Each structure stands twice: as C-alpha cells, then as structure tokens.
Amino acid sequence: MTGGLSVSRTVGRLSAVVLALFGGACSHRDRIVIGAKNFTESDFLAELLAQQIERRTGLPVERRLHLGGTYVCHEAITSGKIDLYVEYTGTAYTEILKHPPIADADSVYRADSLEYAKTLGLTWGRPLGFNNTFAITVRRADAEKYGLRTISDVARIAPRLRAGFGYEFLQRADGFGGLARAYGLRFAAPPTAMDLGLTYRALAQGNVDLIAGNSTDGTIQALDLVALEDDRHYFPPYDAAPVMRTELVTRHPEVARALAELAGKLSAAEMRRLNLAADVEHRDIAALAREWLAKNLP
C-alpha cells in the first residue's frame, strides 16, 4: 500500500460522508435500497439488480447510484443505509478484509462469504459471471514502438513513462505500491492522481502514458488502447457479485432467489459491450438493463 489510510481510519472519516449523503439512521423496511460505486459499470449493475428484483418480487426498489468508492459503499451497507450493492471479490478480500492478494478465485470467494457473514452480517450472492480486473493500459502506438505486451515489459522503459492512476488505486493494498514492487516499476516522477473517469482521456490525449483501467471497460477498445498482460499474476480475481444485508435475505428470501437467477449469466465480453454502449454510445443504463433482462431472463 502506497501510504494509504488504514481501513478503520478511512471508514471512520467516510462515516461523515455517508451521514451527509443519507442523513441519520433510517428505516426502509417497505423498500429495497440498492447502492452503486461511482463508475458506469457499478451503476449499470445496480440498475440490473433493481429491475430483476422489481420484476420477480414486486417489491419497490430505491436506487442510490454513483455513491462513491469502495469504502463509501461498504460503510453505507454496514450502517444499514443501503441493503445491497455489487462488490468485487478481490476488492473485498484485500481492502475490506485486509488479506494479501491470492490468485485462486474460489478461495477468495469462500473467504469473503465466510468472513462477511461472521463479522459484518452480510451475505454474498453468487458471482454474476465476469472478472473485472485492473488493466494496465497504454496507447497502441507506444505498445508497438516499445514492444509492450506484458506489464513486465514496462519495467525497462518505466523511467520514460508518465503514469496516471485513480485515487483509490494509489491507496489500495492491491494497487500501485504492490504492483510497482512486483514488477520493479520505477517511474521518473510519482504517478499523477486523478479521477478514475479521467484517466482514459488523459492517456489518449498524451497527458500520461500509462494508466490502471478496468478490463471490462469499453473505452479501451473505443480509444484503441492496449491492456497489458498481468504476466506475474499480481492482481487477485475480481468477480462481481451482489452483497446483501443478511437481515434483508432473512426478511425477503425472494430477493436472494431473484438475484440467484443472474449468477454466471454476464460474461466479461458482454459487460464490455454494455459499458461501451453506456460510456461511448451514451445509451441509457436503465434501457440497457431492461433489454438485457428481456433477452437473457425472459
């Protein structure tokens, strides 16, 4: 971790943010409240889950999209401000549970499920079907010029490159600090910190030369960028799955049954297509979710 805050300190500071967002303790037993992180894929997945719950259970669902990063959503669900959101297994394993990254997807999921249930009162649903790992990304022209195919290839030219990363990636235990150590990356200057949504344009426009995107982002294809292979298998699996308050599952088991229908149904290629449609073609995520459900779970 590159000088990031501890989980306890970070969550403590973000409690104030969550209270500002949601107010004090509230009761929403008459509706299901779904949250999302602050990027398109998370918003889409929240909308997908919301529509699936509405169509299968008839329960009212409130959307609270684009809330913030991992810690904001985690604080929101543990404090009862939201009932569920989609988390990524490797993020939970390293950032919330503070385990060192490992490569085995089943082991990560089992640990998340057991420890969330035991210590947090949260239940993991089955993964939706895709792994959205970090994608160390460069411009195609640079990949061809320097022969960059893997992250290991970057080490020999890192002093020539300017890196730019999202704020969370710079602080995460599975983020830049560990990546730099694993691959021996030594840039001439510290990476530029920027909003995650700005990193792709900064790369395409030549303001930085290397970023950490997401492997399911359609923007990589749209901007003709190249995602490098994680040849040393540094990153853990990041399988997307719903995390629910166990109290909700007990009160409304039909919600868990409805979400179980989504398990394994959404591939990485399909998620890239949907992200491309939302981010590049500017299509409405509610319409995209409705179309996907009609086609895949009629």
Q: What is the per-residue pLDDT across 142-193, written as a single tens digit (0 to 9) for each?
A: 999 999 999 999 999 999 999 999 998 999 989 999 999 999 999 999 999 9
Q: What is the DSSP string of 142-196?
A: HHHHHT--BSGGGGGTGGG--EEEEHHHHHSTTSHHHHHHHHT---SSPPEEE-G
Would you tell me how many other CB atoms lie within 10 Å of the CB of residue 295? 8
Question: Above 80 in pLDDT, residue 237?
Answer: yes
DSSP 8-state symbol, 77:
H
Report the candidate in 168, 92, 86, 167 with the shortest Cα–Cα distance to residue 127. 86
Read off the pLDDT of each residue in 229-235 and give the average, rounded to a whole number: 96
Global pTM reads: 0.87
Residue carrying the six token digits 């909308």: 47
Domains of the chain by range and CATH?
Answer: 7-131+237-296 (3.40.190.10), 134-227 (3.40.190.120)
Q: What is the per-residue pLDDT across 74-111, written as a single tens digit (0 to 9) for each?
A: 999 999 999 999 999 999 999 999 999 999 999 999 99
Question: Above 60 in pLDDT, residue 26?
Answer: no
- Tokens found for residue 216: 């399911």
Would you tell me how many other CB atoms lie within 10 Å of the CB of residue 205? 10
Report how far residue 80's alpha carbon sits from residue 75's, in angstroms, rounded to the nearest whole number: 8
Question: Above 60 in pLDDT, residue 19?
Answer: no
